[in-house]
């Protein structure tokens, strides 16, 4: 049946899914811990129900969450307020108010339109006070925050009425009312009424005029609505309207935050551009056209708005410009409201500028100092040939600047002082007086241009001017180079200036020409000109460079003339082609016809990438960025005059003692005495040839010797083949100054510092395995044996020092040498160990001077070390017990060694020596590496132990008695270990 | 008087023209029909010059906002911006194969920009000028020419690694290369146009008769190099015979200063623009 039933049904379409299943897809996430979700920002918090489904409330208004997952309660559910016994405080019965059960926005509404006592029933004025406060709050909130706000009012609310208010209240004043006697009623009162006099009406509260803060950006007093009152009204109405709208919204119980801005919410941009952009009431909104747009846009924009095209309100720059006062054309009604057409136009009367008289000079002529000399100075300069007498000329030239600077008073003093002197007769009209006058004049002109014109200076000071002002001495070379302007003059000037070699001068000229800007070039720049398109003056070349360089050049050249003591040929007029008059003339000649174009070519370095982009090979490829020939590290390199110096020195050589050059040390350049100023002021030229060879040979020898030291010392340090020379410094290179001597001793050996050689880490001997006594002994055997005598002393010292330093070895080890006494050379192991073993033997004293020395060293070392010894004893023992495996061999070898040592301790010095060698070597090795050092320590401990053992076996006479006895027990323990390991090793 | 710059530039084929102006926009016109095709806005200040790529897909413009924009003609969007000039950029021109962009500006510098890479910095900044650079040009054989208010026309020979400075003693407001590439026409503020031999720097001819005292005006040569053209501050356009130096023709074109000229490559069409805000097409 069932199957039949099923057959009867025909299913069309897809069956509906069960709701639960379909919902399951929507399940987004399990219920979150609200504590966690609360940490999220607001926009990420989601409201879901217990099953994790999202509850979306108010989807069209933005959604909101109500309570705890749409419930009133909390995570625990709805919890009523806990019971609280009121037995203790019965009087204060808690009264529940409506507000306790109201939402925030409900409260807001209540607050806005809460029940209030009407004014006439407001007996105590509390409502009025509340109202006032509320009004103040509202007013403060609406007011611009940038302006004065009643912040204290907003924050502090009075708890109790002030005394003044209370007084007023006691006098009958109520809050919300004005102060003053009740105003009489309108009707004239009758005295004798039945109900007594009629109560007057209390005056209203004085309104508080909060001055409206200025929120716009108009100028003070400007009223944009003047004459357009309707707009003012519109503006005033708007905020009120908005408020009303807001209240209306409130009654609609709008909740939550909507997406975007709702229809009721308007962005209040309306009022901002109100003053500038006119608009009609219908088309409010954001469609302000602030930009000066293109014409067609402008023309159709107002039309699109449906407003009539009012040409008045068009912005400037539009098709129809704003034309207000086109007199006679525009009728009165076209004028913008608030403006009236001026009745009369006032054209300010313009007075022409006063005429400058033709004789006016734009600068003031200061009257010169009175005095005959100055009067003379005013005369145009006329050059006077210098007197023939060179001394006189020099004197005059020295005197003139002083006189020029200090005035005639100085001259008078000079005259008085030198009245008798024939040399100064030029002061009083003697020989050379004319020349002197002229010099004074020149010096004065120079002083005037350099000092007096600071205020009127038109061009910035050049380096030369500044130097002249400051009285700085010019580098002679620079002066020489610049004074080449008047090359011929200087050539003829005399012996001093020609002292500069021609080649030097030429070179300097080249260098300095590129380094220093001359005065004329400096003013060629466009610094003073306005940048941009400008009106060129008719004669650009003539006007620009003319005046400043002339004065600057005069000053500069004058200063040069002053510096050179014998610059008699100095002629300011003929100063090197700087003739303003000529230039001006040439320029004026060129004024009519424009100048021909001038072409100049410079090197220009395109970037490699630029060349690549222009598909052009780099013209500077492979060449250095800066031409190296021109690079001098110091300016002085360029100013050196090697040729001059060479010439000078050769002259000197020829003149003064011929042998002096050979003996002279390289150092200060030769000073040319009395030969003019130039070489003295020069930086030192490179030393002269003959001297250089000597000194260079010396220096080379010295350097070589240093190199030999460095390389030679390590090689020699380990061997005994070469003996160091008696310690001393290598011959001082400079002082002896004998090239053959220096050359004869190119390999100066550093005195062999034995202490260092022994105790410092020596890399060259690293290849030795210090653990292997065989290797050490073999080396020792291989040593040449001829030079023991010389070595002896050094070794004694070394041993002593070693004993001091090697604290762990102490005295017993330090005296190791005699131990070898009876040892055969064929048994190196025995010899090595014998070194330790025989330390305690008094027989060591027999072995001659060396043994004595060792004994002494031992004692010394023992004294020093003894204090440390005690402290280290325990540690030492520990190490000894820890001794490594190879100790086993020594244990075995110890016995025969000891026996033989007993027999043949008739001190064979050679064997002793070998033992010492070994000891030294092993010790040196011990200092090599840290790791190896540890092993060495073990070995030493082993030796020590053996020695102890031996002595223990033989006699108790050792000075190490206590030490040994204390370590006996441990020794035995370690012995057992050693014997085990030793047997292994022997196999 | 601040000269209004209304440069007008034709593309290589002479089919379209660009006018740049004080209104911060560049307008693309069809000069044959007088149709405004597109307006390119983006410059913050007046646009001083523009240069069109050979394939008409892009053009570069420069202006008072010290920026150089590379525009996509079709979309009207800026492809690249080159920043680096410290002053108004007066002139822009494209290098060979449009691999570089050469600009000159008020910062007394000519800058060469790389169009192939996306680097922000100029390939090279050439700053030997003493005053504002008024116009730049690139010749066929790897030379950059620039004229400056300091009175010089400088030629930077990349192949030779040399800078040739031609001091003309008067501020050069604009400069044009002759079509054969052998001569340089420089418009100077002393009311003269000077024709220089590019190789030797020799003054070949001077052209007088127009009025130029303060404005930056373009000069040009006819495609056949037979005549020299220049605007005039009184609104005329003047034609000189190149060889004879005589004023052949002048006609009143505008009411304002004729500040820009562009000759159609076939020589039949002349575009002039003026400070009166108009671009006129002459046949």
The residue ranking higher by pLDDT, A658 or B136, is B136
Residues on chain B touching A529 (C-beta within 8 angstroms): 131
- What is the predicted pLDDT for the residue at A921? 61
Mapping DSSP to helix (H, G, I), strand (E, B) and coil, where does residue A552 land? helix
Residue A67, phi-psi category: left (phi > 0), alpha (psi -120 to 50), beta (remainder): left
Bridge partners of residue A71, in order along the sequence? A67, A68
Q: What pLDDT, on the 0 to 100 scale, is given for residue A736?
A: 41
A535/B23 CB distance under 8 A: no
Predicted confidence band of residue A727 (pLDDT cuts 50, 70, 90): very low
For A324-372, the pLDDT digits (tens) are: 444 444 445 566 777 777 788 878 888 888 888 888 888 877 765 544 4
Tens of pLDDT, residue by residue over A290-329, are 444 344 444 443 443 444 444 444 444 444 434 344 444 4
Region A496-516: mean pLDDT is: 63
Q: What percent of chain B has pLDDT over 90?
A: 10
Span A801-811, average pLDDT: 45
Residue A162's CB: how many other CB atoms inside 10 A?
Answer: 9
Tell me the count of A-B CB pairs closer than 8 A.
130
Residues A892 and A987 sit within 8 Å (Cβ to Cβ): no
d(CA A548, CA B253): 47
More confident residue, A218 or B173: B173
Q: Which residue has the higher pLDDT, A932 or A304?
A: A932
Strands (E), A161-275: none
> In B, residues 205-224, which contact A (CB 8 Å cutoff)?
206, 213-216
Residue A417 and residue A431: Cα distance in Å, rounded?
Answer: 18
Per-residue pLDDT of A874-889, as tens digits, reads 565 556 555 443 444 4
Whether chain B has a CB inside 8 Å of the CB on A539: the answer is: no
Tell me which residue in A541, A605, A607 faces B169 most closely, judged by beta carbons.
Answer: A541
Check if the beta carbon of residue B89 is closer than 8 Å to that of residue B49: yes
Is the pLDDT score of A852 beyond 70? no
A619:B158 CB<8 A: yes
Q: Which helix (H) or strand (E) holds A890?
A: helix A887-903
Q: In terms of CA atoms, which chain B residue is nearest residue A602? A: B163
Beta bridge partners of B58: B72
Predicted local distance difference test score (pLDDT) of residue A721: 40
Mean pLDDT computed over A750-758: 50
Closest CA to B262 of B276, B249, B273: B273
CA distance B13 to A721: 96
Report helix, strand or coil for A952. Answer: helix
Residue of A599, A607, A615 with shortest CB distance to B164 = A599
Nearest by CB to residue B213, choosing from A535, A613, A617, is A535
DSSP bridge pairs for B237: B231, B251
Higher pLDDT, A796 or B157: B157
- Residue bearing the bigger pLDDT, A157 or A292: A157
Q: Return the CATH fold of B8-220.
A: Methylamine Dehydrogenase; Chain H (2.130.10)
More confident residue, A516 or B217: B217
Q: How would residue B282 be classed by pLDDT, with cut points 50, 70 and 90?
A: confident
pLDDT score, position A269: 40
Q: Spell out which residues of chain A touch residue B105, defining contact as CB-CB under 8 Å.
A: none
| Average pLDDT value over all residues in chain A | 57
Which pLDDT band, with edges at 50, 70 and 90, does B146 fall under?
Answer: very high
Q: Give the angle subtended at the CA of A123 by the CAs of A121 and A129, to the nearest 5°.
A: 100
If one compares A823 and A652, the residue with the highest pLDDT of the two is A652
Least Cα separation, residue A710 to chain B (angstroms): 52
The pLDDT value recorded for residue A506 is 75
Cβ within 8 Å of A, B 135-164: 142, 149-151, 156-164
- CA-closest candidate to residue A860, choices A909, A934, A912, A799: A799
Q: Which residues of A touch B131 (CB under 8 A)?
A: 526, 529, 531-532
Contact in structure between A854 and A797 (CB atoms under 8 Å): no
Query: In this predicted structure, what is the pLDDT of residue A672?
Result: 43
CA distance B38 to B19: 11
Comparing B118 with A664, which gets the higher pLDDT?
B118
Q: Is B130 on the interface with A (CB under 8 A)?
A: yes
| Beta carbons of B254 and B233 less than 8 angstroms apart | no
Q: Residues A893-928: pLDDT tens digits? A: 444 444 444 444 444 456 666 766 676 665 555 555
Lowest mean pLDDT among A467-476, A787-796, A930-939: A787-796
Read off φ and ψ for residue A233, nearest 5 degrees: -60, -40
Question: What pLDDT is stored for residue A78 in this prediction?
Answer: 65
According to the 3-state scheme, what is the secondary structure of A906-946?
Answer: CCCHHHHHHHHHHHHHHHHHHCCCHHHHHHHHHHHHHHHHH
Given this model, what pLDDT does residue A954 score? 53
| Gap between the Cα atoms of A378 and A380, Å rounded | 6
In the three-class reduction of DSSP (H, G, I as helix; E, B as strand; rest coil), residue A838 is classed as: helix
Are A813 and A903 contacting, i.e. CB atoms less than 8 angstroms apart?
no
Of A294, A525, A532, the CB nearest to B130: A525
SS3 B135: strand
d(CA A684, CA A679): 9
Its ipTM equals: 0.88
Report pLDDT for A742.
40
- CB A692, CB A666: distance < 8 Å: yes
Measured between CB atoms, does A626 come within 8 Å of chain B? Answer: no
**Residue B68: partners with Cβ closer than 8 Å, 6 or more residues away:** B60, B61, B62, B81, B82, B83, B85, B89, B92, B101, B103, B113
Distance CA A890, CA A832 (A): 9
Q: What percent of chain A stands above pLDDT 90? A: 0
Query: Residues 48-87, chain B: which have Cβ within 8 Å of A?
Result: none
Residue closest to A957 by CA, chosen among A833, A810, A842: A842
Contact assignment for A533 to B190 by CB distance below 8 Å? no
Please state the domain extents for chain A: 1-71, 102-170, 293-343, 383-522+546-579, 693-744, 754-808+855-986
- CB contact under 8 Å between A610 and B158, yes or no, is yes
Say if A627 is an interface residue toward chain B (CB within 8 Å).
no
| Subunit contact A599:B213, Cβ cutoff 8 A | no
Q: Is B199 in CB contact (< 8 Å) with chain A?
A: no
Looking up tokens 């160990």 gives: A833
Residue A864 tokens, joined: 């020093």
Contact A599 B106 (CB under 8 A): no
> Would you list the DSSP string of B29-92?
EETTTTEEEEEEE--SS-EEEEEE-TTSSEEEEEETTSEEEEEETTT--EEEEEE--SS-EEEE
Please give the Cα distance from A148 to B68 (Å, whole number).
49
Alpha helices for A783-847 (secondary structure H) = 788-805, 810-814, 828-837
Distance from CA of A514 to the nearest CA of B (A): 17
Q: Mark A428-440 as b/e (b = at least 16 C-beta within 10 Å).
A: eeebbbebbbbbb
């Amino acid at each position: 049946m069932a199957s039949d039933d099923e057959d009867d049904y025909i299913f069309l379409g897809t069956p509906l899914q069960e709701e639960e299943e379909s919902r399951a897809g929507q399940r987004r996430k399990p219920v979150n811990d609200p504590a966690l979700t609360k940490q999220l920002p607001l926009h990420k918090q989601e409201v879901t129900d217990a099953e994790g489904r999202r509850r979306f409330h108010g989807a069209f208004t933005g959604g909101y969450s109500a309570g705890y997952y749409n419930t009133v309660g909390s995570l625990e559910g709805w919890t009523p307020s806990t019971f609280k016994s009121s037995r203790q405080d019965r009087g204060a019965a808690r009264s529940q108010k409506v507000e306790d059960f109201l939402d925030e926005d409900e409260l807001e509404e209540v607050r806005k339109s809460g029940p209030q006592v009407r004014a006439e029933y407001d007996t105590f004025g509390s409502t009025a006070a509340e109202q006032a406060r509320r009004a103040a709050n509202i007013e403060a909130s609406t007011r611009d925050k940038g302006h004065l706000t009643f912040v204290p009012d907003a924050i502090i609310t009075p708890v109790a009425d002030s005394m003044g208010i209370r007084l007023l209240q006691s006098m009958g004043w109520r809050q919300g009312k004005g102060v003053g006697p009740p105003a009489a009623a309108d009707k004239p009162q009758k005295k004798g009424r039945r109900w007594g006099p009629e109560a007057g009406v209390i005056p209203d509260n004085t309104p508080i005029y909060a001055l409206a803060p200025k929120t716009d950006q108009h100028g003070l007093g400007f009223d944009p609505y003047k004459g357009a009152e309707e707009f003012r009204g519109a503006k005033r109405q708007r905020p009120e309207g908005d408020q009303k709208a807001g209240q209306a919204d409130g009654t609609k119980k709008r909740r939550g935050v909507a997406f975007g801005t709702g229809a009721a919410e308007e962005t209040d941009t309306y009022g901002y551009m109100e003053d500038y952009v006119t608009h009609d009431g219908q088309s409010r909104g954001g469609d302000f056209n602030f930009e000066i747009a293109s014409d067609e846009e402008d023309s159709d924009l107002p039309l699109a708005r449906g407003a009539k095209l009012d040409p008045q309100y068009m912005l400037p720059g539009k098709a129809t410009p704003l034309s207000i006062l086109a007199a006679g054309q525009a009728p009165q009604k076209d004028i913008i409201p608030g403006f009236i057409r001026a009745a009369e136009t006032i054209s300010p009367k313009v007075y022409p500028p006063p005429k400058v008289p033709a004789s006016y000079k734009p600068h003031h002529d200061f009257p010169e100092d009175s005095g005959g000399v100055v009067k003379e100075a005013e005369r145009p300069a006329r050059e006077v040939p210098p007197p023939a007498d060179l001394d006189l000329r020099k004197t005059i030239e020295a005197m003139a600047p002083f006189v020029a600077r200090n005035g005639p008073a100085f001259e008078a003093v000079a005259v008085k002082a030198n009245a008798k002197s024939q040399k100064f007769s030029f002061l009083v009209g003697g020989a050379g007086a004319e020349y002197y006058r002229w010099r004074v004049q020149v010096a004065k002109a120079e002083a005037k241009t350099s000092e007096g014109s600071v205020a009127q200076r038109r061009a910035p000071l050049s380096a030369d001017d500044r130097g002249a002002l400051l009285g700085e001495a010019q580098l002679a070379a620079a002066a020489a180079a610049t004074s080449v302007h008047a090359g011929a003059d200087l050539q003829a000037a005399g012996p001093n200036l020609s002292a500069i070699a021609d080649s030097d001068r030429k070179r300097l000229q080249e260098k300095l020409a590129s380094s220093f800007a001359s005065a004329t070039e400096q003013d060629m720049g466009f610094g003073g000109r306005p940048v941009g398109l400008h009106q060129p003056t008719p004669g650009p070349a003539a006007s620009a460079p003319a005046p400043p360089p002339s004065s600057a050049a005069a000053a500069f050249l004058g200063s040069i003339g002053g510096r050179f003591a014998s610059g008699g040929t100095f002629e300011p007029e003929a100063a090197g082609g700087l003739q303003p008059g000529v230039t001006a003339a040439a320029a004026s000649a060129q004024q009519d016809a424009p100048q021909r174009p001038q072409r100049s070519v410079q090197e220009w370095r395109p970037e490699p990438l630029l060349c690549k982009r222009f598909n052009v090979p780099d013209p500077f490829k492979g060449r250095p960025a800066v031409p190296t020939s021109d690079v001098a590290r110091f300016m002085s390199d360029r100013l050196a005059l090697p040729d001059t110096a060479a010439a000078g020195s050769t002259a000197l050589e020829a003149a003064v003692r011929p042998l002096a050059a050979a003996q002279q040390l390289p150092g200060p350049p030769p000073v040319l005495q009395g030969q003019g100023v130039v070489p003295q002021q020069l930086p030192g030229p490179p030393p002269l040839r003959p001297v250089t060879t000597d000194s260079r040979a010396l220096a080379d020898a010295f350097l070589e010797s240093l190199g030999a030291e460095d390389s030679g010392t390590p090689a020699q340090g380990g061997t005994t083949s070469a003996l160091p020379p008696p310690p001393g410094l290598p011959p001082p290179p400079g002082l002896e100054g004998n090239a053959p001597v220096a050359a004869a001793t190119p390999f100066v050996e550093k005195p062999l510092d034995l202490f260092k050689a022994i105790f410092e880490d020596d890399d060259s001997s690293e290849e030795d395995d210090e653990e292997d006594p065989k290797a050490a002994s073999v080396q020792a055997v291989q040593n040449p044996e001829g030079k023991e005598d010389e070595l002896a002393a050094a070794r004694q010292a070394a041993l002593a020092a070693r004993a001091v330093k090697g604290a762990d070895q102490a005295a017993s080890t330090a005296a190791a040498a005699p131990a070898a006494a009876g040892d055969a050379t064929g048994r190196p192991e025995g010899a090595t160990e014998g070194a330790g073993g025989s330390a305690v033997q008094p027989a060591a004293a027999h072995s001659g001077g060396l043994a004595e020395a060792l004994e002494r060293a031992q004692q010394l070392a023992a004294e020093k070390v003894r204090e440390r010894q005690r402290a280290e004893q325990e540690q030492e023992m520990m190490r000894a017990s820890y001794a490594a495996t190879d100790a086993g061999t020594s244990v075995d070898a110890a016995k025969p060694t000891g026996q033989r040592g007993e027999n043949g301790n008739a001190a064979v010095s050679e064997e002793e020596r070998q033992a010492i060698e070994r000891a030294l070597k092993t010790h040196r090795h011990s200092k090599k590496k840290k790791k190896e050092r540890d092993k060495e320590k073990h070995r030493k401990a082993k030796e020590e132990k053996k020695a102890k053992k031996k002595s223990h076996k033989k006699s108790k006479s050792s000075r190490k008695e206590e030490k040994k006895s204390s370590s006996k027990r441990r020794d035995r323990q370690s012995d057992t270990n050693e014997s085990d390991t030793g047997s292994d090793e022997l196999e | 008087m601040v000269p209004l710059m209304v440069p007008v530039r034709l593309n290589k084929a002479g089919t379209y023209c660009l006018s740049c102006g004080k209104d911060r926009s560049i307008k693309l016109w069809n000069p044959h029909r007088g149709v405004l095709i597109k307006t390119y806005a983006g410059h913050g200040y007046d646009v001083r010059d523009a240069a069109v790529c050979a394939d008409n897909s892009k053009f570069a413009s420069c202006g008072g906002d010290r920026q150089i924009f590379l525009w996509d003609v079709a979309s009207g969007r800026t492809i690249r911006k080159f920043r680096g000039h410290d002053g108004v950029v007066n002139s822009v021109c494209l290098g060979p194969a449009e691999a570089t962009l050469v600009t000159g500006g008020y910062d007394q510098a000519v800058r060469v920009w790389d169009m192939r890479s996306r680097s922000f910095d100029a390939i090279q900044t050439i700053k030997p000028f003493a005053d504002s650079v008024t116009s730049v040009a690139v010749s066929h054989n790897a030379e950059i020419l620039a004229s400056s208010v300091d009175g010089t026309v400088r030629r930077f020979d990349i192949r030779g690694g040399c800078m040739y400075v031609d001091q003309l003693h008067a501020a050069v407001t604009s400069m044009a290369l002759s079509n054969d590439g052998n001569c340089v026409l420089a418009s100077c503020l002393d009311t003269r146009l000077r024709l220089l031999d590019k190789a030797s720097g020799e003054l070949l001819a001077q052209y007088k008769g127009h009025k130029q005292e303060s404005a930056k005006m373009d000069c040009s040569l006819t495609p056949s190099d037979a005549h020299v053209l220049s605007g005039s501050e009184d609104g005329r356009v003047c034609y000189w015979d190149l060889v004879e130096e005589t004023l052949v023709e002048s006609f009143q074109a505008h009411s304002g200063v004729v500040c820009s000229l562009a000759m159609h490559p076939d020589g039949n069409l002349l575009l002039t623009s003026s400070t009166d805000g108009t671009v006129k097409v002459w046949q």
